[in-house]
């Protein structure tokens, strides 16, 4: 197969992939309207939970990916790992913004306030800040090796900090305890929402990773010339 | 092992001698800390609730003073390439970290000795119930903050960077320390509850984890 | 001349590299460098800007690890035996690597003790005399002129009696008399048996001082040019 055919196939695969993700989201929205029951105490706004929780879990997975990639970078010193860590962290920030937004919307809808210092919201905020700092750090350092090394150490430390942030956030008194009892239909809906969200996360990370790789290659070519 | 210990003493003595020789670091940090406490005290007024704001206000002062302290002690090494001189000496690079950390802690202790009483007084924070607890909690917090601050200062000082980068890195990572210590102190002094093992555990875990990680980072990743 | 300098272990060459390479930030700074410097030689390292001379010296001094290839300094293979090698290598650069807020004596005693030199104060006294700075020993380094700072910097580099001295642009920023003093110092050190590798952008000066010259060419393999 010629290179052009491979490229065309790749482009089609990518298009197909995102089409599938979009379709799954639409299907899930339909599910919410027809199949899923409304939660008693909080009303329709509770439905945002079906987006919030999968995105939150995927945020954590993205952070974990960045952590592992950073460790591998420090061990192998290969730009491949640095590109992956950077991509995963970037997606983590984007997802965390969604977690914050949906969390705040949920709070507004259910209890009338945009913000409370509840454990969950506080944790999301600090997580967001931790990884935003990672991105700003990367853009503030010139020199690829130095930037990669410093960013990697910071990423490792930030991730090790996450459980401590979680535990300390739980010390804060929570006036709106939000544990929800889930009926079987709700669990099914949740599972249905997990699929497109997870696929989307993986797609975003890979897309960003490939972009990073292209930039790294370009820099390498530019530098290698006498 | 003994060699490392004597090298450690040598390094810390060198740092403290330089600081003592009119670099005005401690003076500047103390004044900055006092100003922060005073400004926040003025702003928050004299309400009873504000009294229990003392731990947080002190933390703000420690965070800003600490970042400056760590930057200054690392700048000493960078200014004429002295750090390179240390790195080609026959010593573990981890020893350089411990020495810097001890120097930073010594300076922070001196600063805390002045601004902590100021904070307690300005906010009428009654320590009589458990002064030992208060000191222990704040000490654990400062140790943890210095642990990561020393590492980050070394990383950040190796490049031509803008200021504020160290604060940006160190503040969010240190938040568990701030939250755990203030929650613990509020529960102890305002609500009269006994010390919570959980919060104390967070402080100790933070210190243990990040002292280790930072030491390892110096051993493996430090750049001249 | 107090010739108390002794050669520690017997090794064939002071510096030996084979196929040494180093990439920094996706650029090949050093590529396939072959270099052999015998004990007691005084060699000049020349090359255009960006040829990698400073990087080479930083690798030889164990400051940064080599990228690829084989390398040994004073009989110690790097990077495996880096901490052993440090006892045998001294480095002088255009940065003094001194603490401005300490006196010359305090600086030298600090580095001497760090290296585990026995009878440190005595040794420091000797070295201060050797570099002609005894009179200013108890003045803060920040009060020194560039020439004096450089002399103390050389003193720092040799305080642990290394077999090999690496000098990266030691004459930078020095006026004529200060430069002459440094030239004399280096010549004495070499006469006493130390191997010296000198990096210097001033070709004429280098040719005058050293006995052999090697050239590092930009982005390519090294070529060796020897001379009188």
**Tokens 């420090």, residue located:** A74
Closest C-alpha to B7, from C86, C57, C73: C86
Q: What is the pLDDT of residue B103?
A: 96
Predicted confidence (pLDDT) at residue B109 exceeds the cutoff of 50: yes
State the pLDDT confidence band at C221, using cuts at 50, 70 and 90: very low
State the pLDDT confidence band at A127, using cuts at 50, 70 and 90: very high
Q: Which residue of B has its CA nearest to A158?
A: B173
pLDDT tens sequence across B157-188 = 866 666 789 999 999 999 999 999 999 988 88
Distance to chain A for B189, nearest Cα, Å: 16
Rounded Cα–Cα distance for residues A64 and A68 (Å): 6
Choose between C78 and A201: higher pLDDT. A201
Q: What is the pLDDT of residue B174?
A: 96
Contacts of A220 in chain C (CB under 8 A): 26
Using a 10 angstrom Cβ sphere, with 0-12 exposed, 13-18 middle and 19 or more buried, the burial of residue A31 is middle
State the pLDDT confidence band at C7, using cuts at 50, 70 and 90: very low
Distance to chain A for B165, nearest Cα, Å: 8
Rounded Cα–Cα distance for residues B199 and B184 (Å): 6
Q: Which two tokens stand for residue A203?
A: 């797609």
pTM of the predicted structure, to 2 decimals: 0.89
Greatest mean pLDDT among A126-135, A209-218, C38-47, C162-171: A126-135
pLDDT tens sequence across B122-141 = 888 888 878 888 999 999 99
Pick from C98, C114, C116: CB nearest B80: C98
Q: How many CB atoms lie within 10 A of CB B74?
A: 23
Strand C223-225 relative to strand C27-38: parallel, antiparallel, unpaired?
unpaired
Tell me if A223 and C218 make a contact (CB, 8 A cut-off). Answer: no
Mean pLDDT of all residues belonging to chain B = 89
Number of Cα atoms under 13 Å in the Cβ half of residue A151: 36
Pick from B155, B179, B213: CB nearest A150: B155
Any idea which of A147-156, B32-41, C78-87, C218-227 has the lowest mean pLDDT? C218-227
**Tokens 């700092």, residue located:** A133
Tell me if B199 and A168 make a contact (CB, 8 A cut-off). Answer: yes
State the pLDDT confidence band at A214, using cuts at 50, 70 and 90: very high
Mean pLDDT of all residues belonging to chain C = 84
Choose between A52 and B127: higher pLDDT. A52
pLDDT tens sequence across C58-75 = 999 999 888 888 899 988
- Domain borders along chain C are 13-225
Dihedral of the alpha carbons of A97, A102, A108, A109, in degrees to the nearest 10? 170
Which residues lie closer than 8 Å to A23 by C-beta, 6 or more apart? none
Predicted confidence (pLDDT) at residue B148 exceeds the cutoff of 80: yes
- Side-by-side strand order, sheet with C223-225: C89-92, C164-168, C195-199, C42-47, C212-216, C223-225
pLDDT tens sequence across B184-204 = 988 888 887 888 888 999 999
User: Distance of alpha carbon B9 from its chain centroid, rounded?
Assistant: 20
Predicted confidence (pLDDT) at residue B54 exceeds the cutoff of 90: no
Residue count of chain B: 224
Three-state DSSP state, B217: helix
Question: By the CB < 8 Å criterion, does B9 face chain C?
Answer: no
Give residue B162's region: left, alpha or beta (phi > 0; psi -120 to 50).
beta
Tell me if A145 and C25 make a contact (CB, 8 A cut-off). Answer: yes
State the pLDDT confidence band at C12, using cuts at 50, 70 and 90: low
Distance to chain B for A171, nearest Cα, Å: 7
Contacts of C25 in chain A (CB under 8 A): 143-146, 223
Cβ atoms of residues A151 and A83 within 8 Å: no
Task: Give the per-residue SS3 of chain C.
Answer: CCCCCCCCCCCCEEEEEEEEEEEECCEEEEEEEEEEEECCCEEEEEECCCCCHHHHHHHHCCCCCCCEEEEEECCEECCCCHHHHHHHEEEECCCCCCCCCCEHHHHHHHHHHHCCCCCHHHHHHHHHHHCCCHHHCCCEHHHCCHHHHHHHHHHHHHCCCCCEEEEECCCCCCCHHHHHHHHHHHHHHHHCCCEEEEECCCHHHHHHHCCEEEEECCCCCCEEECCC
How many interchain CB pairs under 8 A, B with C? Answer: 69
Backbone angles phi, psi at B169, to 5 degrees: -75, -40
- Domain borders along chain B are 2-221
Greatest mean pLDDT among A31-35, B9-13, B73-77: B9-13
pLDDT, average across residues B134-161 = 90
Q: Which residue of C has its CA nearest to A218?
A: C26
How many interchain CB pairs under 8 A, A with C? Answer: 18
Distances (CA, A) of C193 to B74, C16, C129, C158, C183: 37, 18, 19, 13, 16
Q: What is the pLDDT of residue C225?
A: 43
- What percent of chain B has pLDDT above 70? 94
Greatest mean pLDDT among A173-187, B101-115, C74-88: B101-115
Contacts of C98 in chain B (CB under 8 A): 80, 82, 85
CATH of C13-225, one of 3.40.50.300, 3.30.70.380, 3.10.20.30, 1.10.3720.10: 3.40.50.300
Q: What is the pLDDT of residue B10?
A: 94
Contacts of A128 in chain B (CB under 8 A): none
pLDDT tens sequence across A66-90 = 999 999 999 888 899 999 999 999 9
Q: What is the pLDDT of residue A76?
A: 84
State the pLDDT confidence band at A27, using cuts at 50, 70 and 90: confident
Q: What is the pLDDT of residue A226?
A: 38
Predicted confidence (pLDDT) at residue C215 exceeds the cutoff of 90: no
B interface mutation test: which of C107, C113, C141, C158 has the most B CBs within 10 A? C113
Tell me if B165 and A129 make a contact (CB, 8 A cut-off). Answer: no
Tell me if C26 and A143 make a contact (CB, 8 A cut-off). Answer: no
Predicted confidence (pLDDT) at residue C220 exceeds the cutoff of 70: no
pLDDT tens sequence across C127-161 = 999 888 899 999 999 999 988 999 999 999 999 99
Tell me if C27 and A216 make a contact (CB, 8 A cut-off). Answer: no
Cβ atoms of residues C121 and C109 within 8 Å: yes
Those residues of chain C whose CB sits closer than 8 Å to some CB in chain B are 58, 61-64, 83-84, 86-87, 89, 91, 93, 95-102, 106, 110-111, 113-116, 140, 156
Q: What is the pLDDT of residue A150?
A: 93
């Amino acid at each position: 197969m010629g290179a052009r055919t491979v490229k065309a196939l790749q482009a089609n695969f990518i298009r197909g992939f995102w089409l599938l993700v979009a379709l799954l989201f639409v299907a899930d929205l339909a599910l919410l309207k027809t199949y899923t029951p409304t939660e008693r105490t909080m009303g329709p706004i509770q439905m945002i939970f079906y987006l919030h929780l999968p995105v939150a879990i995927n945020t954590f997975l993205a952070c974990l990916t960045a952590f592992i990639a950073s460790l591998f970078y420090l061990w192998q010193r290969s730009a491949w790992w640095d590109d992956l860590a950077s991509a995963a962290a970037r997606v983590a920030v984007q997802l965390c913004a969604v977690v914050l937004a949906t969390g705040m919307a949920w709070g507004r809808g259910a209890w009338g306030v945009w913000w409370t210092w509840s454990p969950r919201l506080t944790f999301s905020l600090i997580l967001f800040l931790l990884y935003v700092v990672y991105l700003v750090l990367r853009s503030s350092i010139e020199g690829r090796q130095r930037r990669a090394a410093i960013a990697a150490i910071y990423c490792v430390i930030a991730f090790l900090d996450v459980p401590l942030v979680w535990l300390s956030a739980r010390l804060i008194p929570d006036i709106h305890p939000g544990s929800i009892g889930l009926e079987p239909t709700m669990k099914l809906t949740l599972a249905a929402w997990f699929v497109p969200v997870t696929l989307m996360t993986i797609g975003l990370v890979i897309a960003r990773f490939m972009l990073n790789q292209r930039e790294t290659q370009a820099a390498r070519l530019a530098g290698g010339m006498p | 092992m003994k060699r490392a210990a004597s090298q450690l003493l040598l390094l810390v003595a060198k740092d403290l001698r330089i600081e003592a020789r009119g670099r005005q670091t401690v003076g500047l940090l103390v004044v900055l800390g006092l100003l922060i406490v005073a400004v926040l005290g003025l702003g928050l007024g004299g309400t009873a609730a504000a009294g229990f704001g003392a731990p947080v206000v002190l933390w703000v002062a420690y965070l800003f003073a600490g970042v400056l302290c760590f930057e200054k002690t690392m700048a000493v090494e960078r200014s004429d390439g002295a750090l390179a001189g240390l790195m080609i000496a026959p010593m573990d690079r981890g020893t350089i970290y411990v020495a810097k950390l001890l120097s930073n802690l010594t300076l922070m202790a001196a600063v805390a000795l002045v601004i902590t009483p100021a904070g307690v007084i300005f906010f009428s924070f009654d320590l009589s119930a458990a002064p030992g607890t208060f000191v222990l909690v704040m000490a654990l917090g400062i140790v943890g903050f210095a642990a990561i601050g020393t590492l980050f200062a070394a990383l950040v000082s190796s490049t031509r960077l803008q200021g504020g980068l160290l604060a940006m890195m160190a503040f969010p990572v240190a938040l568990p320390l701030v939250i755990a210590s203030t929650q613990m102190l509020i529960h102890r002094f305002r609500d009269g509850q006994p010390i919570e093992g959980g919060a104390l555990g967070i402080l100790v875990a933070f210190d243990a984890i990040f002292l280790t990680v930072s030491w390892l980072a110096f051993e493996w990743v430090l750049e001249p | 001349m107090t010739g108390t300098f002794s050669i520690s272990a017997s090794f064939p060459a002071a510096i030996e590299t084979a196929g040494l390479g180093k990439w920094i930030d996706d650029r090949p700074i050093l590529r396939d460098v072959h270099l052999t410097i015998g004990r007691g030689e005084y060699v000049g390292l020349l090359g255009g800007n960006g040829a990698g001379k400073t990087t080479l010296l930083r690798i030889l001094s164990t400051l940064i690890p080599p990228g690829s290839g084989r390398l040994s300094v004073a009989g110690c293979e790097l990077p495996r035996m880096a901490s052993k090698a440090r006892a045998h290598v001294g480095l002088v650069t255009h940065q003094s690597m001194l603490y401005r807020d300490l006196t010359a004596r305090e600086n030298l005693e600090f580095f001497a003790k760090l290296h585990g030199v026995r009878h440190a104060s005595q040794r420091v006294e000797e070295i201060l005399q050797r570099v002609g700075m005894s009179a200013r020993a108890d003045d803060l380094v920040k009060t020194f002129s560039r020439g004096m700072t450089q002399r103390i910097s050389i003193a720092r580099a040799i305080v642990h009696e290394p077999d090999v001295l690496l000098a990266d642009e030691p004459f930078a920023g020095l006026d004529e008399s200060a430069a002459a003093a440094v030239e004399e110092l280096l010549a004495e050190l070499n006469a006493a048996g130390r191997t010296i590798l000198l990096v210097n952008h001033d070709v004429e000066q280098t040719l005058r001082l050293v006995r052999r010259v090697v050239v590092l060419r930009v982005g390519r393999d090294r070529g060796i040019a020897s001379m009188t």
